Chains A and B, each alone.
Chain A
Amino acid sequence: MNVNLHPKEGILFSAYLLFFVIHGVQTGVGIVGLPRIVFLEAKHDAWISVLVAGVLTSIVLWFIITMLKQYDSADLYGIHVDVFGKWVGNSLSIIYMLYMVGSFFIIFMNYIEIVQVWIFPNLATWQLALVLIFLTVYAVFGGIRIIVGVAFLSVVGTMWILVVAFVPLRYADFSHLFPIMNIGFGELLKGAKSTTLSMMGFELIMFVYPYVREKKKSMKYVQIANMYTTFLSAFVTLISIVFFAGDSLKATIWPVLSMFKIVRLPNLERFEFIAVSFWMLIILPNMCLYLWAASKGFSRVLKRKQKTGVWVFAILAFGATFFIQARYQMNMVTDLVAKSGFYAVICYPVFLSIIVLVKKWWTKRRNSHAKAS
């Protein structure tokens, strides 16, 4: 397998689109429940926790991009082979692929759960899953340019929801925020760790990187995207804290949707119905990108057609929907993916990039020694 990937000039996309890709894939189902999850750990300083998490992910992103810059145009699958050799590298790639299929799975399963709770209690899981998977497969077959387009339109097309998020501020009680920073540093970090589910997604830069036209600019746009996501998450968390009383926030599983309930227009009430429907557009790029990245691995590692990979993973994910019957199972799987996500997204890339950097430094030193002698 080639370490570097050289796609045709025509399918490369401009670096600024990375902003939409990374931001689009970071915001998904996670952000709906984010305020409560962080609040459970970090109490009223949850929003600071989110900011801390943003700083941490930004550091991780720096590591990832620096690692990618060591290569000409490589993705994670190539780097694995380069660093660990064929067998170990490919095995690690397959594990990573499984993690991504897992993410793909929990994204649409969580969305379906939201739909079932808020709109259609009797909707069969597999029906909506089938439609969502079909949409994803249809998009993924179009290739990375279409997927980036979906991410772009999704971010642009759902920006107006942010305006709606200001409405709950009318009922805000800012005294909920005080006293600021009286929570232990440990709790703050714990809260930051619990944001993984809504922060993860940026690891996909390791797969789309070869398709960026101006690779030098990618660091800038990826960092901006991460910053924007962080501020958005922190903003949403802040609003939830000032809007809900502490105990009720603990009991509200999807505080963001619950806040939308109070939005009221002259010809429209119960805004959360529209928000839940619209959330499909938000999760669509996530599903597409995860399925695309996993199926890319299928073609890179197993040397099969990528289309086969798309079908295999789509059918796998669809089959898995039948095993999840109850809320607690869904919770378990989500937690599992979130936990493994913490290692796959935060720890592992840093570890890998350190190895890559050391390796580069080592070969450089050896070469210069060889020249000198």
Chain B
Amino acid sequence: MFKWMSGKKTPEGEKAHSLQIDELKEQLKKELVACSDLMFRTLKRNDKKIVICFVSSLIDKTGVDDYILKPIQENTQSGWSVEELAQILPITDLTGANQLNEIVMALIDGKTYIYSEGEPFGFLANLSNTVERSLSHAETESLVFGPKIAFTESLLGNVNIIRNNIKDPNLCMEDLAIGTRSKTSAKLVYIKGIADEANINTFRQRVSQLEIDHVQGTTVLGQLIEGNSWSVFPQLMTTELPDRITLALMSGRVAVLMDRSPDALYGPTPFFTFFESTEDVYMRWNMGFFLRILRLVATFLSVLLTPAYVAVLTYHYEVIPSPLLVSLGQSRSNVPFPPVFEAFLLEFVIELLREAGARLPTKVGQTMGIVGGIVIGQAAVEAGFTSNILIIIIALSALGSFTTPSYLMGTAIRIIRFPIILMAGFWGGIGIMVAFCFFIIHLLKLDTLGRPYLAPIYPLNLKDLGYSIFRFPSQFLSYRPVTNQPEDKERYSAKKAKEKKDVDE
């Protein structure tokens, strides 16, 4: 609003820099405000000057020494014109440039600018050196089985991993710039011929139309481009596992990788995708089937167990058979609180334990287990704060929520438990059902990239159930999931697979 008062000029668009080296230095210094690590190295020979500009923190200094300075100094017989320089510099990534803006952006990017005085343009050489951590194990989505490699913060490295996973010439990587100020580079990844055009377009459109100064990573990007930002349920999935992205791409989904972000964002991801683990695919199908069902049941119980306890003990104790009621009554006889309060208290403690465990350094983390397990569990019962049975129930539901492979979905499930407990405290079973109906309607209303969120269930797609809720053996999965609307529908020819050999053939 006060732009006109600050007196700053809006940066001019296209402008070639000065042909005088001294002026060029001044121009660059002015553009890169207070950039103390902007460095110039000037060489002189026979009245001809050459300048090498770079931001010292971003470049590989030995590279500049070896590949720029050394060749220029050693090749005394050749001149310093643009053509001759191009011949002697042993650098792959070398482009001509003379626009001031372009050069400034390139310097920030870690490139080196080589300019010989009087020439129409100079060279941008890529000798950048970014600080990266090396590849490591997946931390948030840990696996027992399957590839262990995880994405890192380097976009180039991540692209490298994906390209190595899928050696398909149709694998497309479109460049995107995210953030009007930060201009983080990102890539839209999909396989042409498998991914649905509509999905690609929606994704591309939503990302490129984003008008925001800076996006802090793919998880934030996901929140910015999903359909309903009020909902507690994540509608697009992020993962740090390259093989998960590979699977997703091969089944016709679209992914976005962002520089400086160790997760990839992909979609469309309906609700049940969040309960799939790559391990289900690597395991034998019957084990995968079992684990997937186990996870869904665990989630269901995790949401429903505590509210059911509250509802039953507050209003409907007739539901419990009398032998069980006796032991329940005994364990609750010391507890002075109503069941809602008791449940809230213990759920709160569990959430505290989880949060503290996540914040603490790993060395102290072990203490948490002792504090949580013995001190709180045992002492709370003996002090008459809670009943033993509730401790079991809360532990079960906490365990259940941790089985969800997606950390975001696991958190969503833990959060929706609280309103349901509250409703159970109000109206018992009726309250639980009210909350349940609400969540059903809510999930029906959500979408992921414009596709229904409850996808293979509603709209019902019997074929895709084998991919999402159950896991069928691969001889039944000759097609790609229909929900993603893949263009190439077949994974292998089902007809050929069904051909059977006769005896002794």
Residues of A with Cβ closer than 8 Å to B? Answer: 13-14, 17, 115, 119-120, 123, 128, 131-132, 135, 138-139, 142, 146, 149-150, 152-153, 157, 264, 266-270, 273-274, 276-278, 280-281, 284
Main secondary structure of the interface of B (DSSP, over half): helix
Note all chain B residues with C-beta closer than 8 A to A266: 321
Contacts known (A13-B459, A150-B440, A150-B441); A277 close to B432, Cβ less than 8 A: yes
Note all chain B residues with C-beta closer than 8 A to A149: 444, 454, 458-459
Of all chain B residues, which has the CB nearest A153? B440
Note all chain A residues with C-beta closer than 8 A to B434: 131-132, 135, 280
Is B147 part of the contact surface with A, judged by Cβ < 8 Å? no
Query: Are the CB atoms of A135 and B316 closer together than 8 Å?
Result: no
Note all chain A residues with C-beta closer than 8 A to B457: 153
Note all chain B residues with C-beta closer than 8 A to A157: 440
Query: Are the CB atoms of B429 and A269 closer together than 8 Å?
Result: no
Residues of B with Cβ closer than 8 Å to A? Answer: 315-316, 318-321, 324, 427-430, 432-434, 436-438, 440-442, 444-445, 454, 457-460
| Nearest Cβ on chain B to A283's Cβ, whole angstroms | 10
| Nearest Cβ on chain A to B482's Cβ, whole angstroms | 13
Besides A268-B319, A269-B319, A270-B319, 6 new A-B residue pairs in contact (Cβ under 8 A), listed by A number: A267-B320, A270-B316, A270-B318, A273-B319, A278-B433, A281-B440
Contacts known (A14-B459, A131-B434, A152-B460); A142 close to B444, Cβ less than 8 A: yes
Of all chain B residues, which has the CB nearest A142? B445
Main secondary structure of the interface of A (DSSP, over half): helix
The docked-state distance in angstroms from the alpha carbon of A115 to that of B434 is 13
Query: Are the CB atoms of A138 and B315 closer together than 8 Å?
Result: no
Contacts known (A146-B445, A281-B436); A267 close to B430, Cβ less than 8 A: no
Q: List 11 A-B contacts (CB under 8 A).
A: A115-B430, A119-B430, A120-B428, A128-B427, A138-B438, A149-B454, A152-B458, A264-B321, A273-B318, A276-B430, A278-B433
Of all chain B residues, which has the CB nearest A138? B441
Of all chain B residues, which has the CB nearest A16? B460
The docked-state distance in angstroms from the alpha carbon of A118 to that of B459 is 35
The docked-state distance in angstroms from the alpha carbon of A152 to that of B433 is 17
Note all chain A residues with C-beta closer than 8 A to B427: 120, 123, 128
Query: Are the CB atoms of B315 and A281 closer together than 8 Å?
Result: no
Note all chain B residues with C-beta closer than 8 A to A277: 428-430, 432-433
| Nearest Cβ on chain A to B313's Cβ, whole angstroms | 13
The docked-state distance in angstroms from the alpha carbon of A152 to that of B454 is 12
Query: Are the CB atoms of B430 and A120 closer together than 8 Å?
Result: yes
| Nearest Cβ on chain A to B204's Cβ, whole angstroms | 20
Note all chain B residues with C-beta closer than 8 A to A146: 441, 444-445
| Nearest Cβ on chain B to A156's Cβ, whole angstroms | 8
**Most B CB within 10 A of own CB, among A132, A270, A276:** A270
Query: Are the CB atoms of B316 and A284 closer together than 8 Å?
Result: no
**Most B CB within 10 A of own CB, among A128, A135, A157:** A135
The docked-state distance in angstroms from the alpha carbon of A264 to that of B322 is 12
Note all chain A residues with C-beta closer than 8 A to B445: 142, 146
Note all chain A residues with C-beta closer than 8 A to B441: 135, 138-139, 142, 146, 150
Note all chain A residues with C-beta closer than 8 A to B432: 277
The docked-state distance in angstroms from the alpha carbon of A152 to that of B445 is 14
Query: Are the CB atoms of A280 and B437 closer together than 8 Å?
Result: yes
| Nearest Cβ on chain A to B76's Cβ, whole angstroms | 72
**Most A CB within 10 A of own CB, among B430, B440, B442, B457:** B430
**Most A CB within 10 A of own CB, among B428, B436, B440, B457:** B440
| Nearest Cβ on chain A to B211's Cβ, whole angstroms | 27
Note all chain B residues with C-beta closer than 8 A to A280: 430, 433-434, 437
Of all chain A residues, which has the CB nearest B432? A277
The docked-state distance in angstroms from the alpha carbon of A318 to that of B429 is 23
Query: Are the CB atoms of A268 and B321 closer together than 8 Å?
Result: yes
| Nearest Cβ on chain B to A300's Cβ, whole angstroms | 23
Of all chain B residues, which has the CB nearest A157? B440
Note all chain B residues with C-beta closer than 8 A to A17: 459
Note all chain A residues with C-beta closer than 8 A to B442: 138
Of all chain A residues, which has the CB nearest B450? A10
Of all chain B residues, which has the CB nearest A271? B319
Of all chain B residues, which has the CB nearest A132? B434
Query: Are the CB atoms of B440 and A267 closer together than 8 Å?
Result: no
Query: Are the CB atoms of A119 and B315 closer together than 8 Å?
Result: yes
Note all chain A residues with C-beta closer than 8 A to B321: 264, 266-269
Query: Are the CB atoms of B429 and A274 closer together than 8 Å?
Result: yes
Note all chain B residues with C-beta closer than 8 A to A268: 319-321
Contacts known (A128-B430, A152-B458, A273-B319); A135 close to B444, Cβ less than 8 A: no
The docked-state distance in angstroms from the alpha carbon of A150 to that of B457 is 12
Of all chain A residues, which has the CB nearest B445? A142
Query: Are the CB atoms of B444 and A150 closer together than 8 Å?
Result: yes
| Nearest Cβ on chain B to A242's Cβ, whole angstroms | 26
Note all chain B residues with C-beta closer than 8 A to A270: 316, 318-319
Note all chain B residues with C-beta closer than 8 A to A152: 458, 460
| Nearest Cβ on chain A to B419's Cβ, whole angstroms | 13
Note all chain B residues with C-beta closer than 8 A to A131: 434
The docked-state distance in angstroms from the alpha carbon of A139 to that of B445 is 8
